[in-house]
Amino acid sequence: MFRLFGDRDGLSPHLREKWGYVRFHHLILATDDFIVFLDNSLDVDWKSSPGWDEAHRNQRRQLDEILNRAAQLEAGDWDRSDVERTLSLKRQIGEAIARGLGGNIAQAKQMLDTAEEYRDNAILDFKRSRAIRGQVKIKDEWESYYKRWTAIHYTIGIGAVILSTLVASKPTWIGSALGSGEWLGIFAWLAAVFTGLLTFLSPEKKASKYSRAWSSLNSEITRYNADESYTVNDVLEAYNKGQNVIFETSDTGRRR
């Protein structure tokens, strides 16, 4: 295991005298002979002392193999938008270089194998998630519509109940507060408007449709992300079913 050196710069006082000029985002390993780190762009970099270079001149060919493979792995196809995954990959590559510089070529190659496997799996996950990006966006929109129509239903419904109750009970305190009997007619008119909106807009029905469509698509997307046997077609089928629920169409597209 590589350890970080413990002050605010990641270097001990002794090593700071030697490598203090190096600016890094993340330190992989620092010794008297070399330092391996990630720069502020999360690219792997390293430096070695002249004494180390001279002492390891004969082992340079093996080390160059490690460095060349690490460079190819780092420069390959990769989505850098996920900072955490990028940092994890670059740390694995950096640790492989550190082990190579430390003379453990076998462990360096094993670490590069691990990094390559991690990279390939991450790319596969990215490609699968990109393939259903549109459906994920639609799923989120359906959830938003479900919440909006639910809020509209309760807002209008509660308003209608309160207004109808006030009209039916005719509390004296409202007449005293308003100083006129006109409030009864106004409240009765508002109660009728709110009740009419409930019937006309049918927010509860719309909320139920979006809820069912969202639940179906969300379940299929979850299965797709967790199980590679599920394909894009499975997600698209759930999307089409959701569309049928929302717009009350049959599988053949005819209105019911």
Residue extents of the structural domains in the chain:
13-131, 133-247
Mean pLDDT value of segment 92-101: 94
Position with higher pLDDT, 142 vs 3 = 142
Mean pLDDT value of segment 163-177: 75
Position with higher pLDDT, 76 vs 134 = 134
- Answer yes or no: is pLDDT of 8 > 50: no
pLDDT of residue 256: 37
**Confidence band for 249, pLDDT divided at 50, 70 and 90:** low
- Answer yes or no: is pLDDT of 87 > 60: yes
Contact in structure between 235 and 132 (CB atoms under 8 Å) = yes
- Within a 10 A sphere around the Cβ of 242, how many other Cβ atoms? 24
Mean pLDDT value of segment 7-36: 84
**Confidence band for 187, pLDDT divided at 50, 70 and 90:** confident
Q: Share the mean pLDDT of the chain.
A: 86
Residue 29 burial class via C-beta count within 10 angstroms: exposed 0-12, middle 13-18, buried 19 and up: buried
pLDDT of residue 181: 59
Average the pLDDT over each of 98-112, 150-164, 221-235, 240-254 and give the range with the smallest value: 240-254
Residue where the block lists tokens 């046997």:
229
Q: Note the pTM of the prediction, 2 decimals.
A: 0.60
**Confidence band for 85, pLDDT divided at 50, 70 and 90:** confident
As a whole-number percent, the residues of the chain with pLDDT over 70 amount to: 89
